[in-house]
Amino acid sequence: MKAMNREMIDRLREAKKYELMAMKALFPDSQSEHIEVMKNEIKEMVVEFVFEFFAQKSSEEEKCSDNKKQEKESNVKKVKIG
């Protein structure tokens, strides 16, 4: 099953590569470099978004776990015996 998934991913990557080549072929050679710059900028934006998303997600999880700890601690009462 994993080999099939890996093969599908490889085929999708190859298809995207050909799609990019076809798109570049539609524009003059002078615009090819500009398209490459735009592609790299978009890639950087996506990576930045993913990092920010996971950083925000982890900070929210920490807040939730801190709140749960506080709730558990607040429910415990000290009792003096004797």
Q: Using the 8-state DSSP alphabet, how is residue 13 labeled?
A: H
Phi/psi for 79 (5° steps) reads -120, 125
Block residue for tokens 């950083």: 55
pTM (2 d.p.): 0.49
Q: How confident is the model at residue 34 (pLDDT cuts 50, 70, 90)?
A: confident
Q: Which residue has the tokens 């615009």?
A: 31
Reported as a single tens digit per residue, the pLDDT across 13-30 is 999 999 988 988 888 888
Higher-scoring residue by pLDDT: 32, 70: 32
What pLDDT, on the 0 to 100 scale, is given for residue 42? 94
SS3 80: coil
